[in-house]
């Protein structure tokens, strides 16, 4: 368990982390989400006592990090893949960390096996690919068989196979009753792994909720209808007491009615439909809405300002199943 109490970090005038208070519980994967520059990494560094908080405190299983005996036995962290001396072999990197915490030498071999680096254990880590470096960082985190694990952007730069591997690893670690805290700036990634969500923006806590609740609260499912006889369609729906909203391009959107029923209804009235499609708002969209106020660096999307036939996107509505975050549904179903 990790408890943050009013954690604050100032860099000069700039507030990087602003009174964060939340608890990361064991047995779950907790996603730590926020746009770039939201203060995620700073928060994680303060958890490990690498950065000194301006105010507030972090407790890990009730103790300050500095008070832990052999901290690697309690907390394992993947901070960034480059926290390694490139001239040292993977084996010696892990060995010096193990020795500093009185861990047996055989643990080094075990974690190298776990992450699949045994064949290159004696090679200098300078020549490692991004993915191999990430695996070495994870091996270091697992070294002391800790109850609490922190991963800062673990999937960065990994290939699909590596991403899949890390996802399963984190889920397994949580299933063993450990506390798993993972940061990411990708909602779609979190939707696949996390059970609980902590969202921050500009250092402030924006949400602290279960994944299921976040999905329920932020994803709107609806059916899109397009017909050449829009007028008659609206009358039919009205007669059935089905509320429909008209989107800007003339399509109708219906909430909370299964697409089967709408299709049968249209057939019964002999209505021509050009489109009948169930839609799901993406979590990425919901996340962007939530953090829109707090994004540090805005980019322009390259469209001419104030012009063009661009279709306005209603709040909370996504492009469609193919858009960002469309894949979260695989998990939900």
Q: CB-wise, 82 or 261, nearer to another protein?
A: 82
CB atoms within 10 A of CB 247: 17
Q: CB-wise, 69 or 333, nearer to another protein?
A: 69
Q: Phi and psi of 229, rounded to 5°? A: -105, 60
**What does the radius of gyration of the chain's CA atoms come to, in whole angstroms?**
24
CA distance 27 to 174: 5
Q: CB-wise, 45 or 135, nearer to another protein?
A: 45
CA distance 201 to 207: 10
Min separation Cβ 317 and another protein, Å: 42
Min separation Cβ 149 and another protein, Å: 12
Q: CB-wise, 100 or 129, nearer to another protein?
A: 100
Q: CB-wise, 52 or 333, nearer to another protein?
A: 52
Q: Maximum Cα–Cα distance for the chain, whole Å?
A: 78
Q: CB-wise, 67 or 164, nearer to another protein?
A: 67
Min separation Cβ 301 and another protein, Å: 34
CA distance 323 to 175: 30
Min separation Cβ 74 and another protein, Å: 11
Binding mask 192-231 for another protein (x = CB under 8 A): ----------------------------------------
CA 12 to chain centre: 29
CA distance 97 to 245: 61
CA distance 212 to 219: 10
Coil, helix or strand at residue 79: coil
Min separation Cβ 64 and another protein, Å: 9
Min separation Cβ 249 and another protein, Å: 51
Strands 204-210 and 196-201, bridge-based pairing: antiparallel
Q: Could you tell me which residues are beta bridge partners of residue 23?
A: 3
* DSSP code per residue over 152-186: ESTTTT--HHHHHHHHHHHHHHHHTT-EEEEEES-
Q: How many residues in the shown chain lie near another protein by CB under 8 A? A: 35
Min separation Cβ 88 and another protein, Å: 5
Q: Could you tell me which residues are beta bridge partners of residue 89?
A: 124
Residues 71-110 contacting another protein, CB under 8 A: 71-72, 75, 77, 79-80, 82-89, 92-93, 95-97, 99-102
Binding mask 39-78 for another protein (x = CB under 8 A): ------x--xxxxx------------xx-xxxxx--x-x-
Min separation Cβ 42 and another protein, Å: 9
Q: CB-wise, 68 or 247, nearer to another protein?
A: 68
Output the CA angle 86-91-95, nearest 5 degrees. Answer: 105
Q: CB-wise, 51 or 229, nearer to another protein?
A: 51
Min separation Cβ 92 and another protein, Å: 4
Dihedral angle of Cα 100, 139, 170, 295, to the nearest 10 degrees:
80
Binding mask 126-145 for another protein (x = CB under 8 A): --------------x-----
Closest CA to 246 of 312, 332, 161, 154: 312
Q: CB-wise, 103 or 283, nearer to another protein?
A: 103
Residues at the interface with another protein (CB under 8 A): 45, 48-52, 65-66, 68-72, 75, 77, 79-80, 82-89, 92-93, 95-97, 99-102, 140
């Amino acid at each position: 368990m990790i408890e943050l109490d009013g954690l604050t970090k100032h860099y000069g005038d700039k507030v990087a982390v602003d009174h964060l208070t939340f608890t990361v519980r064991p047995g779950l994967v907790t996603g730590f989400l926020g746009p770039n520059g939201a203060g995620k990494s700073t928060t994680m560094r303060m958890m490990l006592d690498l950065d000194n908080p301006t105010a507030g405190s972090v407790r890990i299983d009730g103790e300050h990090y500095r008070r832990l005996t052999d901290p690697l036995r309690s907390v394992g962290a993947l901070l960034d893949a480059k926290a390694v001396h490139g001239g040292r072999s993977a084996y010696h990197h892990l060995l010096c960390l193990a020795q500093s915490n009185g861990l047996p030498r055989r643990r080094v071999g075990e974690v190298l096996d776990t992450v699949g680096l045994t064949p290159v254990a004696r090679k200098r880590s300078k020549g490692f690919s991004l993915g191999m470096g990430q695996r070495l960082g994870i091996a270091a985190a697992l070294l002391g068989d800790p109850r609490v694990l922190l991963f800062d952007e673990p999937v960065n730069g990994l290939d699909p196979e590596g991403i899949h591997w890390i996802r399963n690893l984190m889920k397994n670690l949580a299933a063993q009753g450990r506390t798993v805290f993972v940061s990411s700036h990708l909602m779609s990634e979190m939707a696949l792994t996390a059970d609980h969500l902590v969202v921050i923006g500009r250092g402030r806590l924006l949400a602290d909720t279960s994944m299921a609740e976040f999905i329920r609260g932020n994803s709107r499912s609806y059916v899109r209808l397009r017909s050449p006889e829009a007028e008659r369609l609206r009358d039919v729906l009205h007669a059935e007491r089905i509320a429909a909203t008209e989107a800007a391009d003339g399509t109708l959107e219906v909430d909370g009615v299964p697409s089967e029923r709408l299709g049968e209804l249209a057939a019964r009235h002999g209505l021509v439909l050009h489109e009948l499609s169930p839609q799901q708002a993406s979590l990425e969209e919901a996340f962007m809405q939530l953090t829109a106020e707090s994004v540090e660096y805005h980019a322009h999307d390259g469209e001419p300002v104030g012009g063009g036939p661009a279709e306005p996107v209603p709040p909370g509505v996504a492009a469609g199943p193919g858009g960002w975050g469309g894949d979260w549904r695989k998990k939900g179903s």
